[in-house]
Each structure stands twice: as C-alpha cells, then as structure tokens.
Structure 1
Amino acid sequence: MKRQLFVLIAGVAVTLPCVCFAANEEIQVYLDDLSQPGQFGVDVHNNFVISGDSTLPYPGGLAPLHQYRLTPEFYYGLTKTVELGAYLLTTKTSDGQTHFEGEKVRIKYIAPHDSDNGLFWGANLEVGRTNLYASPQAWNAELKGIAGYRSGRWTFAINPNVDWSLSKGGGPVTLDVDGKVAYKVTEKTQIGLETYNELGPLRHLQGLNQNSKTLYLALDHDFGQYDLNAGIGRGLTSDADNWVLKFIIGTHF
C-alpha cells in the first residue's frame, strides 16, 4: 500500500494543471543523508511558481509564472561514503505545454561522522546537459559544499555552491549559498527555515538586493519507508519568484 501511495502521488504530480529564471528543478539543502552500499533510492522533486515573472528570461526560455517542475532523481549507494545520482528534468508551463529539459548526473561524498550529534561535511559534484528551455548553455556543472552541525533537537546546514558552464562562451563562474535551520518537533517531524541565495559572479560578488534570494518555511517528515520535504517560499528580491511551493517525496528500495 505504501508503494502504491508513492506511485499515486507521483502520478498526480505529473498531471497537475498549471494556472528572470523560474525556481530550480531541485530546491533542497543537502545534509548528510546517504544511501547504504548497494541500495537504490528515488526522490520526486516538485515545485510550482505561484507568483512570478510572466516574461521570458531569455529567447527560447520559459516564463516563470505558474511554471511547474517535476524532476525524478534516482540514486545508488556505491560505498559507505559515496553515492551516485541522476536527474530527469521536466517542466509544465501555464499554457499546459510539457517540456523535457535534459538530464544531470552527480556524485556525492559524505565523510564518516556521528549521524546524531556534532559536525558533518561532504561535497557533491553535478554535471548536466540541458536544452534551451532550461538554460542558454547546453553543458553546465556545479560543485556543492556540504557542512552542518547537529545539537540536540537542532540541525544547522550550509551549502556553498559554485556553478559554471562547460559550453564555450558560457559566462562567469557564479556562487550560491543555501542554508537550513531545523528543529525536531517529534522523532519523525522537523520544522524550520531554508534560504537560497544567488550572489553573482565569483570574482565580483554582487549586493544582497541583487539576484534571486528566497526564504522557505519548511517541513520534514519521516513516514517510515518514505520521507517528505515540503515548503513555501517567499522571494526577497525583485529577481526572485514572489511565491513558490515545493515538495520532495523520497524512498529507498
């Protein structure tokens, strides 16, 4: 029944009607979660721009307003510290058109640590090939730093992300910094805040009132075999989407 419920939720997400750049395909602060060696998993990333810009971010791009993204992520535990993953990017626009945007692969490392208390750290390298719907450059990469700390019921985490294009003439290397503060209400439920902040070119970082910056009220809940991360985000700058709804459903098998 649980597996059927998961498939049903994912199927409903695909068929949901839709009423600068839209929200990323993956709105998530990376923590220290890692699949066990030989274990497969899947996360279904969903986000919907409730209120945002109705103009095209660039010729051939898609307007953010009422854009819905569905991104299945498949991953596999290679060792006790290394996980491999792959994404399939899809988008549904406000006029009901569905677009396949491309694919990405990643490799994540998490250093050995105490999973209940203290410091954790790692890194995630991602490379993707997408079409014009997703990005003006076909090939792009991201190196994500992962650092966090647990103390009692509190979890703190930060992800400095360096992004660059692998395509010729792809533009400058840029920096994003994402963060999360969560409080464990029960053994299976956490509430907290997540923040996603684009800071501009790495060699010339821009002001806090520039680029996209969004703050989310987030909920994490463990259903046993399944886990949920959901949130509603408010854009803090003129370059950000005004309101975004996101949820991620994951399981291992």
Structure 2
Amino acid sequence: MRRLLRLLLLLLPVSASAAGFDEFQVFDGRIGEPGSFDLNQHFNAGRRGRLGEGAPRNGLLLETEIGYATAPWHEVAVYIPVAREFSGDTFGGGFKLRNSFVVPGAGDRPFAYGFDVELRHQSYRFAEADWAVTLRPILDLRHGPWQLILNPAVEFPLGRGGPSFAPALRGVRQVAERVWLGVEHYMEFGRIDRPEAPRGQAHQLFVTVDFRLTEKVGLHLGLGHGLTHASDRWAGKVILSVDF
C-alpha cells in the first residue's frame, strides 16, 4: 500500500442512522519497501450521522495508523481511533490490527492482488460486537490511464451475530500527468445469511480527485452522497499523502 500521511478533515452533514462506515478507504495492495514504516493520520467529522457502527453521531474521529513492511509481500499496521463528541465527551475506540499479503510490485503490474486480515477490538460506541475479524480480498486492474480496484470484504463478529458483506469499489482515470479522477462505491449489505432489504443497505457513492503535488506528497479530495436511507446523506473527505 502507498505510504500515506492522511488528513481527513471533513465529513459534511449527514442524516442516516442505520448502517455506516468508520472510514472511506479502498485498498489497492501497494505497500512500502521492506523495513520501512508508514504513518497515516485520519481525521473524520460528522453531524447527524455515524462514524462507523456506533461512533458519535455528532463529533470527530481521530485515527492513527502505523504500518511496517516486513517483506515485499507483507505489511502489518495498527489503527488507534479516538472519538470526541461535540458535546465534549472524549473516548477511545480500541484498536485494529491489519495484516496485508500482496503480490510484490503491485504498482507496476496490469493485474495485482492481495488479501487483508484485520482484527479489531472496539467498544459498543463504535461497533455492535466488541471483537471482529475482517477478511478483505484485493483485486487491482490497470490498463493505460484506467484503474479498477475491488475489495469484497466480509466481517466476522466474534461471539455475536453472523458474518456481514461490505464490498468497496474504486474506478480511476488519469487525466493529466499528476491528476486522477475517480468514483468510489462503498456498500454494506448486512448479514450474509440474512441480508438487509434494499432500504436497509448502506450505499455511499464518492466522486474523487487525486493530485500528485510532489514525488512524495499527494492530495486526495472526495465528495460523497448516500444512495439509500441507511447511508450518510452527504460526506466529504480530504487526504494528504506523504511518502517517507
């Protein structure tokens, strides 16, 4: 995965109260050089919506991600979220531990693939189950200026409920030497054995633009809209990327 220092500053007012996403991110399987560390800082803000299953309806979410590439095909990363409601209440969100296994040199291949195994422990204010494991396949296709990435993720709550299906899709086209336009679709269908009706599913569609400001600094902007009543009505994101 690209090594990033991400700054997510803005999630515009939203109105959904059902399913939601704690982060809007599609994984393309690119990782750093073996022996290198990655530091990724996430900032989310929302009003009248959710930052994940149970994160504050009106507040801020700060998530620090530290990654380390152990080999050309493996990276481990830990996520430490902290939330603050606009009412003033601040609380921790446990942790996430992600192991990524990818084909080496993903950024130079017309077809790359990988697999994420993510373990999380979070309180009821963030998620319905304290412990859960997410299995996230990574499929990355590139042809000329086009790129298509699919993450058909499945989450397994430990000790409560059945597995749920939450895929994500990203399509990108390079329109200039340092500019890319994209569309992202985040979906949450509910439990695999008991899927939600269409109105209970979460579907968030983003239009994005990426700028490569320097060889090591990039900027990602996105504006999203919920396609169902169970989705955030509007959402926005800003990502500042720094390669070390």
The answer to whether the 8 Å contact 1:232/1:246 transfers is: yes
Name the SS for the 2:124 alignment partner.
coil
Match of 2:40 in 1: 43
Equivalent position of 2:221 in the other structure = 230
Q: Is the 8 A contact 2:56 2:125 kept in 1?
A: no
Q: Is 1:30 the counterpart of 2:27 in the alignment?
A: yes
2:125 matched residue in structure 1: 133
Contact map agreement 1:25 1:70 (CA 8 A) in 2: no
| Pick aligned residue for 1:81 from 73, 81, 94 | 73
Deviation per residue, 1:69-118 (Å, 9 max, x gap): 22111101110011110101122223243321111111001113563451
Q: Give a deviation string over 1:120-159, Cα, whole Å, max 9, x none.
A: 1111110011122212321111011110211111111111
The answer to which structure, 1 or 2, has the higher relative contact order (CA under 8 A, 6+ apart) is 2
TM-score (norm 1): 0.82
TM-score, normalization: structure 2?
0.85
- CA distance in structure 2 between the partners assigned to 1:46 and 1:240 by the alignment: 20
Count of residue correspondences: 234
| 1:185 shift after superposition | 1.9
CA displacement at 1:33 relative to structure 2: 1.6
**Alpha-carbon deviation of 1:247?**
2.6
2:232 counterpart of 1:241: yes
State the partner residue of 2:181: 191
Corresponding position: 1:217 with 2:218: no
- Deviation string for 1:16-55 (max 9, x for gaps)? xx9x3575332101112211100111112222335537xx
Residue in 2 aligned with 1:67? 59
Partner of residue 141 from structure 2, selected from 144, 149, 158: 149
Equivalent in the alignment of 1:181: 171
Mapped pair 1:123 → 2:115: yes
1:3 match: none
| Cα distance in 1 for residues equivalent to 2:122 and 2:64 | 15
Contact 2:29 2:106 in 1 (8 A): no
Moved more, 211-220 or 66-75: 66-75
SS in 2 for 1:209: helix
SS at 2:199's partner residue?
Answer: coil
CA contact (8 A) 1:50 1:243 kept: no
Once residues 124 and 21 of structure 1 are traced to their aligned partners in structure 2, the CA distance between those partners, rounded to angstroms, is: 26
Give the AA of the match of 2:240.
I
Sequence identity of aligned pairs in percent? 24
1:128, 1:152 → 2: CA distance? Answer: 37
The CA RMSD measured in Å over matched residues stands at 2.8
Q: Is the 8 A contact 2:55 2:83 kept in 1?
A: no
Gaps (5+ residues) in structure 1? 1-5
1:205 aligns with 2:195: yes
CA contact (8 A) 1:143 1:162 kept: yes
Could you tell me whether the CA contact under 8 Å between 2:129 and 2:157 is conserved in 1?
yes
2:55–2:127 contact (8 Å) kept in structure 1: no
Q: Residues 49 and 241 of structure 1 are in contact (CA less than 8 Å); yes or no, is this contact kept in structure 2?
A: no
**C-alpha distance in 2 between matches for 1:95 and 1:22:** 23
Partner of 1:250: 241
Q: Which runs of 5+ in 2 are unaligned?
A: none
